[in-house]
């Protein structure tokens, strides 16, 4: 192997995003083991068939799984399965589908996203009820779905009961409930629940189940719990450019990741690292946590002049420029030493003299 990427040796860990981490070693091993002989393409291989079977065991026999390439693909395909072009989906203003997908839902589906300003990233049943006027009015888009992110883009969590309440309001009003689970592992360990407990068992109809933020190389699973919604998805997955030919290499990652619970310990570790970082950082009088740290992201208002010196050591993003709210994401491979080093840097910037940095 040539020395192709000499710059790669300089790479360091940071808090920019959990998708900057690599792949779990056991996932890499699973990929290697799947690499033998020929396998039917486009999802008819043994790994994908086994994955479908395992999904049924966990989520119920009516569940169908559609492996795709990424989260945006899973979200767009989910909305495609449940919406007609004159219908709309309700979501938080800071939802990934609204702010971070470069308008993919509008572009592909022709739909409107109706957004609610949610200070903590979470929708409520009242938010849904506020958008039920104008049903049947041909001048208005017709609300047909609600999309929530679990955990939210701001690191907060819906409880199982909150999801049940949202699902109840949805179903009473003929709406579908979609969950964007890009970081679903982190939610599950934080809630102490299985994936199925706060998705299909709480009334979710369609789930984007993500793994790249927790050790998967590529791929995401679209899970459809309602049998009414399956008839056209195979065609749409292909048309949306989200059908992988060598699908065995997506399924061979997710199958043991789910079955062997490879998702659990890494997510728990990332959540713990975020707790430590939140606890440490909040000791500084200049730092104010913006949200309760429930999973693997810390959201904090920091002095603007801290941005450059802090980022030099450990890259991260300012998530809300107007308030200089920083986002610090911890990954499955974040280390206590990373956090310690980061807090040390803060200490040099802070006026506080009495901060205790042991983790």
Residues 86-105 contacting its own copies, CB under 8 A: 86, 88, 99-104
Q: In 159-286, where do the E strands start and end?
A: 176-181, 206-210, 220-224
Q: Which is nearer to its own copies, 85 or 174 (CB)?
A: 85
SS3 assignment, position 148: strand
* Binding residues with its own copies: total (CB under 8 A): 98
Give all strands of the β-sheet with 288-289 in edge-to-edge order. 288-289, 297-301, 325-329, 317-320
Q: How far is the CB of 286 from its own copies (least distance, A)?
A: 23
Shorter beta-carbon distance to its own copies: residue 44 or 172: 44
Q: Environment class of residue 133 by beta-carbon count within 10 Å: exposed (0-12), middle (13-18) or buried (19+)?
A: exposed
Binding mask 302-331 for its own copies (x = CB under 8 A): -------------x-----xx--------x
Q: With contact defined as beta carbons under 8 Å apart, do 171 and 225 qualify?
A: no
Is 239 a binding residue for its own copies by CB under 8 A? The answer is yes
Cross-strand pairs, 210: 220
From the list 62, 241, 288, 323, which residue makes contact with its own copies (rule: CB under 8 A)? 241
Select 47 or 176, whichever has its Cβ closest to its own copies: 47
Q: What angle do CA 73, 170, 219 make, to 5 degrees?
A: 15
- Chain residues 35-54 in contact with its own copies, contact rule CB under 8 A: 35-42, 45-47, 49-50
Angle at 345 between CA 351 and CA 17, to 5 degrees: 125
In the list 121, 155, 256, 266, the residue contacting its own copies (rule: CB under 8 A) is: 256
To its own copies, the closest distance from the beta carbon of 60 in angstroms equals 21
- Looking only at residues 101 through 130 of this chain, which bind its own copies when binding is defined by CB under 8 A? 101-104, 106-108, 110-113, 130
Task: Identify whether the C-beta of residue 224 lies closer than 8 Å to the C-beta of residue 233.
Answer: yes
Give the phi and the psi of residue 55 in degrees, each rounded to 5. Answer: -60, -40
Residue with tokens 């707790």: 275
Closer to its own copies by Cβ: residue 80 or 350: 80
**Binding test (CB under 8 A) with its own copies, winner from 165, 217, 272, 355:** 217
Q: Facing residues of 325 across strands?
A: 301, 320
Q: Is 160 in the site for its own copies (CB under 8 A)?
A: no
CB of 160 vs its own copies, minimal distance in Å:
28
Within 53-82, which residues bind its own copies (CB under 8 A)? 69-70, 72-73, 76
Residues within window 183-212 making contact with its own copies, judged by CB under 8 A = 212
Rounded (10°) CA dihedral 268, 191, 357, 153 = 90
Q: Rule CB under 8 A: choose which of 78, 166, 243, 326 binds its own copies.
A: 243
Q: Is 5 in the site for its own copies (CB under 8 A)?
A: yes
Residues 60, 200 contacting (CB under 8 angstroms): yes
- Count of CB atoms within 10 A of residue 247's CB? 22
Give min distance, CB of 296 to its own copies, in A. 14
Q: How far is the CB of 3 from its own copies (least distance, A)?
A: 10
């Amino acid at each position: 192997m040539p020395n192709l990427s000499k710059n790669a040796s300089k790479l360091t860990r940071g808090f920019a995003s959990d998708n900057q981490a690599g792949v779990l070693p056991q996932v890499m091993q699973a990929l290697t083991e799947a690499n033998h002989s020929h396998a039917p393409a486009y999802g008819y291989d043994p790994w994908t068939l086994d994955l479908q079977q395992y999904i049924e065991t966990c989520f119920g026999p009516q569940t169908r799984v559609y492996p795709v390439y990424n989260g945006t693909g899973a979200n767009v395909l989910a909305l495609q399965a449940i919406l007609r072009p004159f219908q709309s989906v309700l979501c938080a203003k800071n939802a990934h589908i609204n702010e971070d997908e470069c308008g993919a839902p509008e572009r592909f589906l022709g739909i409107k996203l109706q957004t609610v300003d949610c200070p903590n990233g979470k929708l409520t049943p009242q938010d849904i009820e506020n958008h039920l006027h104008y049903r049947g009015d041909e001048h208005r888009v017709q609300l047909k779905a609600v999309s929530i992110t679990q955990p939210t883009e701001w690191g907060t969590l819906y409880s199982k009961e909150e999801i049940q309440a949202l699902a109840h309001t949805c179903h009473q009003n003929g709406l579908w409930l979609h969950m964007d689970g890009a970081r679903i592992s982190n939610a599950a360990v934080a809630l102490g629940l299985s994936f199925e407990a706060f998705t299909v068992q709480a009334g979710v109809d369609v789930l984007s189940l993500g793994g790249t933020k927790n050790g998967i190389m590529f791929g995401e699973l679209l899970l459809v719990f309602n049998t009414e919604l399956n008839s056209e998805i195979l065609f749409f997955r292909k048309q949306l450019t989200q059908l992988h030919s060598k699908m065995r290499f997506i399924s061979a990652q997710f199958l043991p990741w789910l079955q062997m619970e490879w998702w659990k310990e890494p997510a728990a570790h990332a959540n713990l690292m975020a707790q430590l970082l939140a606890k440490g950082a909040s000791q500084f009088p200049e730092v104010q946590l913006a949200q309760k740290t429930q999973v693997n992201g810390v959201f904090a208002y920091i002095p603007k002049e801290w941005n450059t010196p802090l980022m030099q050591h450990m890259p991260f993003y300012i998530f809300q420029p107007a308030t200089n709210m920083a986002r610090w994401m911890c990954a499955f491979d974040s280390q206590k030493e990373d956090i310690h080093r980061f807090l040390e840097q803060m200490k040099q910037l802070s006026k506080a003299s009495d901060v205790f940095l042991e983790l």
